[in-house]
Structure formats: C-alpha cells, structure tokens
Amino acid sequence: MLSDAAVGDRGYFYPESSSDDELLPRALPIDDYGKTDPPDASKILLCPNEYLRHVRLEASKLPETLVSSIHTLDKDEVGVPEAVSSRSSFRDFSEAWKHAQAYKFQKSQKEFSYLVKQFLPSKSFPSDADSLISSLRSDDCIHWLVNHPPMLSYFVELSQANVSLLLETLLSACPRVGWNSALQPWVYGGLLGLEPPLLPGTCHTVRRIGKKFCKYLRESEQQKGDDSRDRRFCFIIISVVAFAFGQRDLLEDI
C-alpha cells in the first residue's frame, strides 16, 4: 500500500523521497587554477577541462559590471570636437563618435515628434506649414530658406511627403562648393521631421542625401581652404544617415 504522502491530489504517484543530486544537471568538474598553474594554451581546444579553466581565467580578468558604449555617448570623449581640422578624414573619428551622433539624433527625433504631433497641437499652437510648402514651390525657395531659419511651427501638421519635398529641394543646393551654411539647420531639421515608417520615395531621398555628402567629402579632400565647419557637419549627417536610417553601406564610399 502507498502512503498518503506518496499519492498526490489527482492520484499521481510521487516518490516519498528523492535525492537532490538526481535533479541537478551534471557538470564537468573544473580543476582550480593559480598563477603558478595557468591553463595549458596548447590543450585549450583539445581538453574540456583546460578549456573551462581558460574561460574561468579570462572571466576573472573582467569587472563584475560591464558598461556598454551606448551609456557613454554623452561623455566628452565621444562628443563633437570643438575644432576639426579642415583635412580631417571621416575615418579619423571613432565608431563611438559616429554612433553617438546617430544616438543623439534619434533622441532628439523622439522629442521633436512629440512636440510637433502631440504637445503643440494640444495647445492650439498655430501651424505655419502652409508658408513652408508655398515657399518650396516658388522659384526663390532657397533664398527663402536661407532667410527663414527652421521653426517648430513649420513642421506642425506637415506630412511626410512635404518633408521629403523639403529635403529634395535642399539636395539641389547642398552640399557643394560655396553652399550657404544657413541651410544646415534645414537639412538636420528635415531629417528630424521624418517619422517611421518611411515611404519608399522618402528612403530614396535620405539615401541620396547621404551619398551627396559622401561625394562632397571626397571632392573637398582635393581642395584647399578651411572648410572645417562644413566638413564636420558632413561627418554628422553621414553618421545619422548611416546608423539612424540604416544606410551603413554608404560608409564604404568614403
């Protein structure tokens, strides 16, 4: 007869006692190591014990807490340099710096989207998108953009198609030799105004922007003069297009 303890509520049989050793998975024993007895490098791939000793040794060299590079993006070492040589190459900037530009852009993009799509409309903030659209369809649109810095009111109730139209208009004027740096805020602001999912035509426009800035960098390498400000802006835009908009293959063209 089975005792009450051995039979569950639904009639299932449970052993009255079980060994914890039977429930635990078996693991390979690992010999302790010391400074005088390190793992044999020649046997790491041949002997399981030596391999596990090697893993334990390497793990002991690392801190208990590892910090990802994304948590250091706001530190000075990955910030935008105060001064960039006019001959600086895109390869002179670390991967952390490039990712930092995309990270800061995406953070600003979320705040930008909240302001123009939720906060400002809820406050009955007047939209001035019609003024921007009208200027883009005029013959002197570049002159208008140069003399009217971007404001949030231009992007309230502005459709993605019209943001793409803004970027396409800027493509005809920048970047090129002698282009007006007053257009830089419009380029960055236009990219901020793009909220995913992007239309195929918009993706194509963003990619063209990245390719044109890459071309500008290649051509400016052969020219004289101090263009450090324009080149630094190119570095930022290329990083944003490459990492925030998924066009990393453009980096191969620089």
Output the domain CATH number for residue 126.
1.20.58.1070
Check if the beta carbon of residue 235 is closer than 8 Å to that of residue 90: yes
In a domain, residue 58? The reply is no
pLDDT of amino acid 66: 56
Residue 62 lies in a domain: no
* Residue 16, pLDDT above cutoff 80: no
Instruction: Tell me what the mean pLDDT of segment 9-27 comes to.
Output: 52
Q: Specify if 56 maps to a domain.
A: no
Q: What is the number of structural domains in the chain? A: 1
Q: What is the 3-state secondary structure (H, E, C) of the chain?
A: CCCHHHECCCCCECCCCCCHHHHCCCCCCCCCCECCECCCHHHCCCCHHHHHHHHHHHHHCCCCCCCCHHHHCCCHHHCCCCCCCCCCCHHHCCHHHHHHHHHHHHHHHHHHHHHHHHHHHHCCCCCCHHHHHHHHCCCCHHHHHHHCCCCHHHHCCCCHHHHHHHHHHHHCCCCCCCCCHHHHHHHHHHHHCCCCCCCHHHHHHHHHHHHHHHHHHHHHCCCCCCCHHHHHHHHHHHHHHHHHCCCHHHHHHC
Q: Is residue 137 part of a domain?
A: yes
> What percentage of the chain exceeds 70 in pLDDT?
68
Domain presence at residue 122 = yes
Mean pLDDT across 86-94: 63
Residue 25 maps to a domain: no
In a domain, 4, yes or no: no
In this prediction, residue 161 has a pLDDT band, given cuts at 50, 70 and 90, of very high
- The pLDDT score that the predictor gives to residue 231 is 81
- Averaged pLDDT, 106-114: 94
pLDDT digits (tens, 9 = 90+) for 35-79: 667 777 777 777 878 788 877 877 777 666 555 554 444 444 444
Position with higher pLDDT, 172 vs 177: 172
User: Residue 231 sits in which domain range?
Assistant: 97-253
Position 28 pLDDT exceeds 80: no
Kindly state the average pLDDT of the residues 202-223: 86
pLDDT band with cut points at 50, 70 and 90 for residue 91: low
User: Which structure tokens are listed for 202?
Assistant: 């918009």
Question: Does position 7 have pLDDT exceeding 50, yes or no?
Answer: no
Q: Which structure tokens are listed for 90?
A: 């895109």
Does residue 207 carry a pLDDT above 70?
A: yes
Specify if 11 maps to a domain. no
